[in-house]
Amino acid sequence: MNIVIVSPEAVPFAKTGGLADVAGALLQGLSRTGHDAFLFMPLYRGVRGSIRPKEAARGQKIFMGERAYYFDILSQRNAFFISNDYFFDRDGLYGDSRGDFPDNPERFAFFCLSVLHATKILGIKPDIYHLHDWQTALLPLYRRELFTPADNAAAVLTIHNVGYQGIFPPETLPRLGISGKFFTIHGIEFHGNLNLLKAGILYSDRVTTVSPTYAHEITFPEYGFGLEGSLRWKGVTGILNGIDYDLWNPADDIHLKRNYTIQTLHGRAACKEELLSVCRLRDRSLPLIGSIGRIIAQKGYDLIADCLEDIIGLGANIVILGRGDRDIEQVLQRAAARFRDRVHVSTLFNEPLARKIYAGSDLFLMPSRYEPCGLAQMIAMRYGSIPIVRKTGGLADTVTDFNSGSPEGTGFLFHDADRNDLVECIKRALCVWKNKRDWNRLTRNAMRLRFSWEHSISQYSALYGSLVGRQRNVPQA
């Protein structure tokens, strides 16, 4: 099959979030399994310097609304880059220090149109367009409306976080060259605005997201951010992301004081020693909790801030690494200043320190309000740091609760996003930590788990197979 992956970012070219990992892993993995996979993404300023591209096509002209735009296509093996300096030669992918770029709808609508032209020019006959997030979500509508497709390609849209939808004022519509007939409640209208993700949901053939539990959750108002009705109508398939087990490996991680495996777990003690001394925390005999992530309410960092004193009272130390919301950061930093030898907070992006935390902490805290998939908890388990997570989305799909009766537990789960539930769960975890036999079993269980990309790729592959040649379920405009 010819699979055209259309993504606003992809590893190793440009990354701001997990979607880049998925797009990159799909490109590599699908090619290995005998498909012809092609990636299309914008040529951002940062990408230009990091690739050695060939020129695939020059000076292509397209119309979007009343205006003509031009683009070139550069390529490096099976990755194709849409080049237009006016839209993409900027610092930042979606915005800069002043916020989101105001012309983001035009930038990514243009990207979708260019990809449709590019596949034609390059003679690629897609069986599947695999789209990622709102930036690529207009492609099925454009394809249906502005092209007379010779092929019978199907469109799969993967939503990486339904909290980001690409909502813009209605005046944007003509600039994107989209007819007013689509601006209805059964089309791309959303509370008087334009919603690009909604267009993708309606006009794609299949919608997926990055874990089975999140796929279910987003069809309800609590998690659907207003799109639950459209998602329920379309149906959502959940396919769990993987992690790269070579990239995240405590046996050869150069940032660790001592490398270790499941057979040499005592190596973790040296990593904990080092982490405590890097963070200037005292009392090595106490359990150490780590947490790494974007400091935002979605990730539950306001809850962590609320229960820091409880954590100290329960006799644990805590190390937090992340940046995000200034207000939450400040609360955490004030606590770190007050309990200098028990709490450490670093608001940097620092991968070496992240690796030391995965290896040196006993427990890993991730109390997300919602979590489409989550990588940090998978990495923590790979390194033998036991997750304490809220039972939601990908966290619920990757962590199994431990109680002394269950031999297969890998962490601790709690239900409600409130301080009481979280503190009770931490208490339970700290109790188990005191029993070295149980703790050892838990650590081994966690380290043995595998969430491989191969497994995800084979699920995507089966999904593509099920779509080829089928009748489609899209609304009539």
- DSSP characters over 131-162: EESGGGTTHHHHHHHH---SS--EEEEEES-T
349 binds ligand ADP (CB under 6 A): yes
The number of beta carbons lying within 10 Å of the beta carbon of residue 466 is 12
Nearest CB to ligand ADP, comparing residues 16 and 440: 16
321 binds ligand ADP (CB under 6 A): yes
* Contact with ligand ADP (CB under 6 A) among 290, 300, 374, 411: 374
384 binds ligand ADP (CB under 6 A): no
Interface with ligand ADP: number of residues (CB under 6 A): 16
Q: How far is the CB of 367 from ligand ADP (least distance, A)?
A: 13
H or E segment and range at residue 129: strand 128-132
At 43, the amino acid letter reads: L
Q: How far is the CB of 406 from ligand ADP (least distance, A)?
A: 25
Beta strand pairing call for 154-159 and 343-346: unpaired
Beta strand pairing call for 67-76 and 189-190: unpaired
376 binds ligand ADP (CB under 6 A): yes
Q: How many Cα atoms are found within 13 Å in the side-chain-facing hemisphere of 413?
A: 16
290 binds ligand ADP (CB under 6 A): no
Q: What whole-number distance in Å separates Cα of residue 9 and Cα of residue 15?
A: 6
> What letter does residue 130 receive in the DSSP assignment?
E
322 binds ligand ADP (CB under 6 A): yes
- Region near ligand ADP per CB under 6 A, out of 27-35, 124-132, 250-258, 343-351: 343-351
- Region near ligand ADP per CB under 6 A, out of 41-49, 320-328, 403-411, 440-448: 320-328
411 binds ligand ADP (CB under 6 A): no
**Nearest residue to 21 via CA among 238, 242, 197:** 242
Q: How far is the CB of 72 from ligand ADP (least distance, A)?
A: 31
Nearest CB to ligand ADP, comparing residues 206 and 382: 382
C-alpha distances out from residue 400 to 70, 100, 293, 366, 442, Å: 52, 38, 21, 14, 10
* Contact with ligand ADP (CB under 6 A) among 82, 276, 292, 396: 292
351 binds ligand ADP (CB under 6 A): yes
What crossing angle do the helices spanning 18-32 and 453-467 adopt, rounded to 10°?
A: 70
Question: Which residue is associated with the tokens 């339970």?
Answer: 428
159 binds ligand ADP (CB under 6 A): no
Q: How far is the CB of 323 from ligand ADP (least distance, A)?
A: 6
Nearest CB to ligand ADP, comparing residues 175 and 323: 323
Q: What whole-number distance in Å separates Cα of residue 373 and Cα of residue 375?
A: 7
Q: What whole-number distance in Å separates Cα of residue 104 and Cα of residue 136?
A: 12
375 binds ligand ADP (CB under 6 A): yes
Nearest CB to ligand ADP, comparing residues 83 and 377: 377
354 binds ligand ADP (CB under 6 A): yes
- Region near ligand ADP per CB under 6 A, out of 215-223, 277-285, 318-326, 436-444: 318-326
Nearest CB to ligand ADP, comparing residues 71 and 301: 301
Nearest CB to ligand ADP, comparing residues 17 and 46: 17
216 binds ligand ADP (CB under 6 A): no
- Region near ligand ADP per CB under 6 A, out of 22-30, 39-47, 309-317, 347-355: 347-355
Q: How far is the CB of 113 from ligand ADP (least distance, A)?
A: 28
Contact 401, 413 (CB under 8 A): yes
428 binds ligand ADP (CB under 6 A): no
> What letter does residue 385 receive in the DSSP assignment?
P
Question: Which residue is associated with the tokens 């150069």?
Answer: 254
The residues in 64-103 that bind ligand ADP, with binding defined as CB under 6 A, are: none
- Region near ligand ADP per CB under 6 A, out of 120-128, 196-204, 286-294, 401-409: 286-294
293 binds ligand ADP (CB under 6 A): yes
Q: How far is the CB of 127 from ligand ADP (least distance, A)?
A: 29
The number of beta carbons lying within 10 Å of the beta carbon of residue 132 is 25
- Region near ligand ADP per CB under 6 A, out of 42-50, 163-171, 315-323, 443-451: 315-323
C-alpha distances out from residue 355 to 257, 299, 351, 382, 388, Å: 11, 19, 6, 11, 18
Q: What whole-number distance in Å separates Cα of residue 238 and Cα of residue 287?
A: 35
- DSSP characters over 251-318: TT-TTSSS---GGGTTHHHHHHHHHHHHTT---TTS-EEEEES-BSGGGTHHHHHHTHHHHHHTT-EE
Q: How far is the CB of 374 from ligand ADP (least distance, A)?
A: 4
Nearest CB to ligand ADP, comparing residues 178 and 373: 373
| Interface residues toward ligand ADP, by CB under 6 A | 17-18, 292-294, 321-323, 349-351, 354, 374-376, 379
